[in-house]
Structure 1
Amino acid sequence: MGTVWRAEEWADDAVVLPAEQPTPEQVLAGADRFAPVAAGLRADPWRYLAVLATLGSLDLTAARALEPHLDAVAILAQAGDPDLSAVGVDATSTFGVYAARAPGTGLVASRGREGLDRLDGTKAWCSLATVVSHALVTTTREGRETMHAVGLHRPGVAHATSSWVSRGLAAVTTGSLAMDDVPAVPVGDADWYLERPGFAWGGIGVAAVWFGAAAALAGALRDAAERRPPDQVALLHLGTVDHLLHGALLSLRAAADDIAAGRADGPAGAVLAARTRAVVTRAAEEVLTIVGHALGPAPLTHDEEHARRVADLTVYLRQHHAERDLAALGALLLEDR
């Protein structure tokens, strides 16, 4: 691992990975050690974001596997830690969070017995569904938006991942789930998932991962300057990535302050998340470009860690929907006005 941009100012030294280039299975096997940080998100949001940023700087496959699990822990804590033993959840369970919407897909919940509902339908964009044991899934019940906890390895659940050909985040296999009369436990009341205070905070956590990966890429410029005295163009590159990442770091710290102070609930939280994600995305995309210009093809073709980080971050950043998310931010500002 090379230099990481100003890691001493934000990285969490307690975050370590079980192996070099760990598999999602290896990372999730130790997920429980991060659970208290996620459960305490409201009390100490900066610790939560710093853990995610540190994971992003170390390995994006690891971060992509752990971030949804920690998001699920935070969601369940906000829901009062409901009893999920009826769907097999125990201390060793690992989670995905599947809330994406795709045309022609969706899960419908019908009322069941003994506190259990039954799920039918399909869910798209389910990352690591063959690896994690459980998931929190968005559903509809009687026309209302709902959320359910469900076991992913039981009769009635079918996995489809054969179309995953990604070169970035290649190990984070993503496909669809089909469910046929699968038992599930409701999490929160109707519309709770969308209206809860922390709905927007999960998106800020993802932005922290992007920031950490961009900081690791920027560190490669510092390492290059140590190997060969930088000329004016190299100094320009260093200065540019520094101010971009400094702005992104300040945005994440401000977001943590707002969450801790109770200023990130409701519509304010949606605006905060959209702004923070936009700031971090812009910084990370420009860092990708600048590092490519500065270092040329050599690390992309001869440095496995660097090449993998570039490919992984390129894919991961597309969770931000670019101009469409900026347009959504504009709409939020008009609603607020």
Structure 2
Amino acid sequence: MGSTPADLSRYVPLLDSVAASIGDVPALLALAVEAGQTWPRPGEGSTAVLWELLASVAATDVAAARVLEPHLDAVAILAQSRHAFPDDRSIPDDATQGTWGVFAAEAPGARLEARSGDAGAVLDGSKPWCSLAGRLDFAIVTAHTDDGGRAAFAVSLRQAGVACEEPEWIARGLREIPSGSVRFDQVPATPVGGTGWYHRRQGFAWGGMAVAACWLGGAVGVARDFRAGLLAGAEGGREPDQVALAALGEVDRTLTAALQFLARTAAGIDDGTLGGGAGQSTWSEAKRVRGTVAAAVERVLHLVASNRGPGPLAFDEPYAKRTADLALYVRQHHGARDDAQLGRLALKGDCPW
């Protein structure tokens, strides 16, 4: 993704530990804490390295990336808030000593409100889609504020008044990452930026693109499974036919194009040129990246599944897990609805063409 082997060499031991910890959520959370202390943060000169590391984790195990990415996002959010508000002493100094999540989803029937209390903000209500909440120490959560907007808050999940639902997670994908609701009952929390800051900052778009890097890494893992299966068949005397080779070729160019797009985008983040054109925004580029990567992932999943058939899905556990995990994870992209938002921006001239 634009980085060199030398850029990644110091991170190899942790990546090896991820491979040895597949399915072990406590071990993966410990690795997330380590990564938060040692991995680069977006926008600080090594965004391509960060995204390649996330993609490498996802290529090994999609669920592992689903554990690491939110913690790293929380570390970045707190760093961005300290940079934006250097005089605000209430912002937590460090996010690296515990495990963190980022809970920003909204859903019908679930509403989290932040009210001003004697000692700061108090959270009351429920928040949906809180992955691994019962195993985490802290979270960045978004809540509705008294002034009619939304803001981010840092909150300990280990205090009285926090109730983490144990969801009946029936999904076959991301089975070790259940996402339920968290109920907050008059829970003290620390504001992180003011109303609107969480969604307005450039880092919001950067975080969305980091998730896309994870999706793409998962697709790379699926493609490697496909290639390995073709090579194993050839070694057994069954050479791939033209249809299989054409599918592999399309997978190659699909992934290569998406990887190059991410590399170019990461470079633009670090040199300050992303969204720098007249009428262009970082958010529109995030929509392009996420949509392009999501389409690439869907295409790779289709090509590989169509060519490998039912056998690997039934009997190859790592491959079956990878495809199920990735198919669920990429649904964080909202398809045509996200494209409609991008179209609205393009109609206003927020486009590079």
- TM-score of the alignment, normalized to the shorter chain, above 0.5: yes
Q: Is the 8 A contact 1:38 1:71 kept in 2?
A: no
Matching residue of 1:3: none
Aligned partner of residue 108 in structure 1, secondary structure: strand
1:99 to 96, 104, 107: 104
Identity %: 40
What does 1:1-337 align with in structure 2 at a 5 Å threshold? 12=8, 14=11, 15-18=15-18, 19-35=20-36, 36-39=38-41, 41-80=43-82, 91-114=96-119, 116-142=120-146, 143-227=148-232, 228=234, 229-264=239-274, 268-337=281-350
Name the amino acid aligned to 1:80: R
RMSD across aligned positions (CA): 2.5
Task: Give the whole-Å Cα distance in 1 for the aligned partners of 2:315 and 2:89.
Answer: 50
Name structure 1 gaps, 5 residues minimum: 1-6
The count of residues paired between Structure 1 and Structure 2 equals 331
Q: TM-score, normalised on structure 1?
A: 0.91
Q: How many angstroms does 1:9 deviate by? A: 8.0
Q: TM-score, normalised on structure 2?
A: 0.87
Name the amino acid aligned to 1:263: T
Name structure 2 gaps, 5 residues minimum: none
Q: Is the 8 A contact 1:38 1:73 kept in 2?
A: no
Task: Give the whole-Å Cα distance in 2 for the aligned partners of 1:56 and 1:186.
Answer: 32
Q: Is the 8 A contact 1:10 1:50 kept in 2?
A: no
Tell me the alpha carbon deviations over residues 297-319 of structure 1, each in whole angstroms, 9 at most, x when there is no partner: 11111111000001000100100
Q: How many angstroms does 1:167 deviate by? A: 0.7
Name the amino acid aligned to 1:242: D
Name the amino acid aligned to 1:301: A
Deviates more, 1:93-102 or 1:266-275: 266-275
Q: Is the 8 A contact 2:144 2:150 kept in 1?
A: yes
Task: Give the whole-Å Cα distance in 2 for the aligned partners of 1:154 and 1:37.
Answer: 29
Tell me the alpha carbon deviations over residues 268-288 of structure 1, each in whole angstroms, 9 at most, x when there is no partner: 111111101111111111111
Tell me the alpha carbon deviations over residues 71-114 of structure 1, each in whole angstroms, 9 at most, x when there is no partner: 1111111011776798x976431111011111232211111234
Task: Give the whole-Å Cα distance in 2 for the aligned partners of 1:33 and 1:10.
Answer: 20
Task: Give the whole-Å Cα distance in 1 for the aligned partners of 2:63 and 2:89.
Answer: 30
Task: Give the whole-Å Cα distance in 1 for the aligned partners of 2:184 and 2:274.
Answer: 35
Q: How many angstroms does 1:183 deviate by? A: 0.5
